[in-house]
């Protein structure tokens, strides 16, 4: 094989070093190139309008090979300035011809072109690719965020609907609808009281067991309020306390302001934290706790004496028959009772204190029955009441079986589940605590505000994603053009070096083809 047929392989990254080692270019070429760049910047300001020139000047920095093409174009555009001796009178042509000559001196153009090639391969093209990759990654992250915001929106909306459904409201005028639902409480409590009558045998069974095991009976029974509801129903607390029905009942009106009762989507509302509203357990408002209103003291000026004409009160006409035990004035017409006000006007199942006692006593019955079932299912020798002991017990204890005890437990648990239903708990707390209403309303409005906030974030995220996509679409053509110009520059360099070595084939390895 002849030497001319052997290709010359040059590593692109070491091209400039290869040229200086073989004395094709001087090491101080950069100092001389500054003059040329200044002349190019000056000459480029005065260019004819030409499509080819516009293409040459786009994409990458202008180099020697561009200058030669510009001269060829100017030979056409400046042809009318050519004189008899073949020289051009156009200053444009003179400027660019001078630039080409300066480039050819000491092969400055080859050193500069090599540096441009290396910069494009190592920095320009990877930089554009990295920028596109970063934008695409950002675009993916924005898409994920948008999906997450949508999920949060759906979750908040479903939670709002779930709470409203649980409360039986539409959620348009939250406070007003909640206050209207409070009117259902009397019917609910009436249903509970009616079902309580079915556990009279449970109370009898429990009292008999306690009396037999302790040898004495409790005054009023072990579960007095449950026993009272069975016998009297859901009467007023007044009647439960004093043993007589009141002549009249004056129940306090609901102290709930409806001024701010409208849907608000302000995301600056109070943050109540992760308050679950499965039975809406709002900060400090546990549905299983009773709202304590403190001891009510009657200060001077708080008693409403009605329309009393002092002039009509004559000495000797005042009835001083006052019961010191109950504080009830016995009316002159002989009817027992008085006026039930405040908490005494509430029914037993509506009054927070008696209601809690009623629930506690139901739990007491439940625990007792569960223990009896455990004994029935366990070892009879370890039962609290063995067969020999049962001979002396009352008939209700002797006749108790596993099935009858289980049936009694089921009845107790039905009553517990109804009075402890989350909706009933809500309505009870709404009636007896304005703060609870405000907190519950704020929680619902917070859900709505979260829905709107998530919608807004989706819109913003979508806009950012569109901007990012647009930037990617703008950079991709630029990257394509830079790669194209780099490939052209590499081909020009390979041809130029090939001419210096008797047209041997030159390959720049690791160049633009690897991009």
Q: Judge contact between 408 and 198, C-beta under 8 A.
A: no
CA distance 186 to 188: 5
Q: What confidence score (pLDDT) does residue 460 get?
A: 96
By CB atoms closer than 10 A (0-12, 13-18, 19+), residue 325 is exposed
Helix axis angle for 352-377 and 200-214, nearest 10°, is 70
Instruction: Write the CA distances from 41 to 28, 110, 334, integer angstroms.
Output: 22, 19, 119
pTM of this prediction? Answer: 0.60
pLDDT of 327 reads 42
Q: Which two tokens stand for residue 493?
A: 């360099």
Per-residue pLDDT of the chain (515 residues; tens, 9 = 90+): 567 778 899 999 899 999 999 999 999 898 888 899 999 888 888 877 777 777 777 656 888 998 988 888 888 877 767 765 567 778 888 889 999 999 999 999 999 999 999 999 999 999 999 999 999 999 999 999 999 999 999 999 999 999 888 888 888 888 888 888 888 899 999 999 999 999 999 999 898 888 888 876 666 678 999 999 999 999 999 999 998 988 888 887 776 666 655 544 444 343 433 433 333 343 333 433 433 434 333 333 333 434 433 333 333 333 434 343 444 444 434 334 588 888 899 999 999 999 999 999 999 999 999 998 998 887 554 444 554 555 566 777 877 888 999 999 999 999 999 999 988 998 898 888 888 888 888 889 999 999 999 999 999 999 999 999 999 999 999 999 899 989 999 999 999 999 999 889 999 998 777 76
């Amino acid at each position: 094989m002849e030497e001319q047929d052997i290709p010359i392989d040059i590593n692109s990254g070491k091209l400039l070093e290869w040229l200086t080692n073989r004395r094709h270019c001087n090491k101080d070429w950069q100092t001389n190139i500054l003059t040329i760049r200044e002349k190019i910047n000056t000459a480029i300001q005065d260019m004819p309008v030409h499509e080819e020139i516009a293409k040459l000047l786009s994409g990458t920095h202008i180099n020697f090979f561009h200058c030669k093409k510009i001269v060829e174009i100017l030979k056409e555009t400046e042809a009318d300035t050519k004189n008899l001796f073949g020289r051009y009178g156009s200053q444009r042509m003179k400027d660019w011809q001078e630039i080409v000559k300066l480039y050819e001196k000491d092969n400055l153009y080859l050193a500069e072109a090599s540096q441009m090639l290396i910069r494009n391969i190592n920095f320009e093209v990877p930089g554009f690719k990295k920028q596109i990759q970063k934008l695409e990654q950002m675009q993916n992250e924005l898409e994920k965020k948008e999906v997450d915001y949508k999920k949060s929106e759906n979750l908040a909306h479903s939670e709002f609907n779930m709470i409203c459904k649980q409360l039986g409201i539409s959620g348009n005028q939250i406070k007003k609808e909640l206050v209207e639902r409070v009117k259902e409480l009397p019917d609910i409590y009436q249903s509970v009281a009616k079902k309580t009558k079915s556990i009279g045998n449970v109370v009898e069974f429990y009292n008999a067991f306690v009396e037999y095991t302790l040898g004495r009976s409790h005054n009023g029974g072990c579960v007095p309020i449950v026993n009272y509801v069975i016998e009297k129903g859901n009467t007023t607390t007044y009647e439960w306390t004093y043993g007589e029905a009141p002549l009249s009942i004056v129940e306090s009106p609901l102290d709930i302001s409806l001024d701010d009762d409208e849907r608000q989507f302000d995301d600056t509302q109070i943050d109540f934290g992760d308050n679950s509203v499965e039975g809406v357990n709002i900060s400090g408002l546990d549905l299983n706790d009773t709202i304590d209103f403190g001891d009510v003291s009657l200060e001077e000026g708080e008693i409403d004496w009605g329309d009393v004409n002092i002039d009509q009160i004559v000495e000797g006409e005042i009835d001083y028959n006052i019961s010191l035990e109950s504080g009830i004035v016995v009316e002159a017409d002989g009817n027992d009772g008085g006026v039930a006000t405040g908490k005494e006007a509430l029914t037993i199942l509506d009054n927070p204190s008696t209601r809690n006692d009623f629930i506690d006593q139901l739990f007491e019955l439940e625990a007792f029955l569960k223990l009896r079932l455990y004994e029935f299912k366990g070892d009879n020798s370890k039962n609290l009441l063995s067969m020999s002991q049962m001979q002396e017990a009352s008939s209700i204890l002797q006749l108790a079986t596993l099935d009858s005890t289980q049936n009694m437990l089921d009845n107790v648990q039905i009553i517990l589940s109804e009075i402890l239903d989350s909706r009933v708990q809500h309505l009870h707390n709404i009636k007896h605590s304005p703060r609870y209403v405000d907190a519950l309303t704020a929680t619902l409005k917070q859900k709505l505000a979260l829905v709107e906030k998530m919608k807004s974030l989706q819109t913003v995220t979508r806009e950012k994603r569109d901007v990012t996509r647009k930037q990617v679409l703008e950079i991709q053509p630029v990257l394509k053009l830079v790669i194209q110009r780099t490939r052209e520059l590499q081909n020009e360099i390979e041809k130029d070096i090939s001419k210096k070595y008797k047209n041997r084939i030159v390959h720049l390895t690791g160049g633009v083809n690897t991009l």
